[in-house]
Structures are given as C-alpha cells and as structure tokens.
Amino acid sequence: MKKIKSGIYWVALCLLLASCGGDSDPNGSGGGNLNNRPVGESANDLLASSNYSRLEVELLYAAGFEPPSASVDYIRNFLAARLNKPGGISVTTRQISTPGKSQYSLQELVDIETANRMKFNNESTIGAYLFFADGSYAPNENVLGVAYKNTSMVLFQSRIEELSGGFGQSSTSLLTSSVMAHEFGHILGLVNTGSPLQSNHQDVANGHHCDVDNCLMYFAVESTAGLDDLLGMSAPPTLDAQCLADLKANGGK
C-alpha cells in the first residue's frame, strides 16, 4: 500500500494533557472541567447521542489564515458521516486577534483558547474548538496539527500554506482538510486514546496512530519531499476499516 509520506507530524507526539488552563469549565455550566480533559476522554460524548445530541464546532483563525471554504465543508461532512448527532452539527468560523508570533508554545496556544473560545459543553450540546494559527509550533516547525485537550485542537496554518498551493505542491485545501480530519480523529479517540481498539492496529512505535499506511490516522514523519504522495490525491486519506470499527463501537456511525 502506498505510504502517505510527508515532512510533518500529523499530531504532536501524543500530547495527552491531564489539564490545561484551570480546573473548571470556562462556560460556568457547573459541569466542571468538561472541556479541559485529556485527548480522547470525550470520544463517546462526541460520537454518541446519549449525553449530547448536538455538536457545535468553532473554527477560529488569525488574520490572513482563514481555512479554505472547501476544508470547512469537508470537515462538516466528515463529522456528519461519523457522529450520531440528531440535533445537528454546526461549524462556524471567526477571525480573532493574536500576538502575531512566528512560533507558538503549547501554553501560548492554551492562552489564546482561554481568551477567545466561546462554545463549550452545555446541556445537550458539546463544543469543539480549533484554532488556525499564524505561526508554527515552537518545539518543532514540522508539526502541522496538535490535538491537545478533549475538545481542543490547533492547525499551524501558516506552515500548511508554506507547504501547499504552489507549483509541485498539493492544494492548500487538501492539506488543510487532511490535517484537520486527523486531529478530529484523535479527539474521537483514535487510535486507542478513548475509542477502544476492536482489533490490533495501533502503531505503538509512533504513539496513538494506525499501522495501516494509507489510513487517515497513519503516522507519517518523513521529509517534506514525501508530500509528493499527496499530489495525485483529490481528497484526503480516509479512515481504514479498523478505525471505523473503533468509532462505531464507541457510539459513532
């Protein structure tokens, strides 16, 4: 099978944080710490309808780094195909002010979320947050996306745009959609972070990723020259059958 080779990490090396930025739910709902838990801990809440029948996704972006409209449409359809949310799934975008740094640490990203996030878990609705950053990741500029809490993610959109959209490169919407869907896969509990394995397909050597080399959740960390493998693709990689089985067993479609 063809490897999806690239000079990026689809997600930053298992950043499964026990907590970030405080001990209580920022919306004051009284649920306590609902959006401030480790990656994958809300997988069932996101996938199933038993606790939350609706999902509200908040896509915030720095000036000049709005996600491509095709990527917004893609993630809406991706989620609708996998999540049991009879109350619906909404995806909204909003520009925010940022410090305008060339690189961001994880704590700085948490601070941006704390200052700007508006959608949280509330009664029958679960919220998810994704920030499109105007800088790269301070520990490693090859990291294009990080899922860092149970409903929180970031895409380093400035770096994504450097690596896409030009001659001999994949389209920006394709690369954006691929990384965004991969990060959502992690907060949905893939692989083995909250959606229990139904078969043995975890790539343990590379953390919480799938060992099927053409799966969306495959951990490909080779050089940027490997981005050539995306050139012949018209859509992002899909979840393989084993990842789909994990999601379905945990309340998804």
Cα separation values, 239 from 87, 97, 137, 198, Å: 24, 34, 26, 14
Asked if 227 and 6 count as a contact pair (C-beta separation under 8 A), the reply is yes
**For residue 31, pLDDT beyond 90:** no
Tokens of 123: 């009664």
Whole-angstrom distance, CA of residue 13 vs CA of residue 250: 24
pLDDT tens digits, residue range 165-189? 988 888 999 999 999 999 999 999 9
pLDDT tens digits, residue range 106-135? 999 999 999 999 999 999 999 999 999 999
Tokens of 92: 């909204």
More confident residue, 3 or 152: 152
Structural domain contains residue 200: yes
What does the pLDDT average to over 143-164? 94
Structural domain contains residue 67: yes
Structural domain contains residue 27: no
More confident residue, 95 or 14: 95
Structural domain contains residue 135: yes
Q: Which residues pair with 210 in a beta bridge?
A: 202, 218
Give me the pLDDT at residue 231, please.
62
Number of structural domains (the chain) is 1
Round the CA-based radius of gyration of the chain to a whole number and report it.
17
Structural domain contains residue 35: no
Read off φ and ψ for residue 177, nearest 5 degrees.
Answer: -60, -40
More confident residue, 166 or 67: 67
What's the CATH number where 196 sits? 3.40.390.10
Give me the pLDDT at residue 83, please.
98
Give the structural domain span for 130. 43-249
Structural domain contains residue 38: no
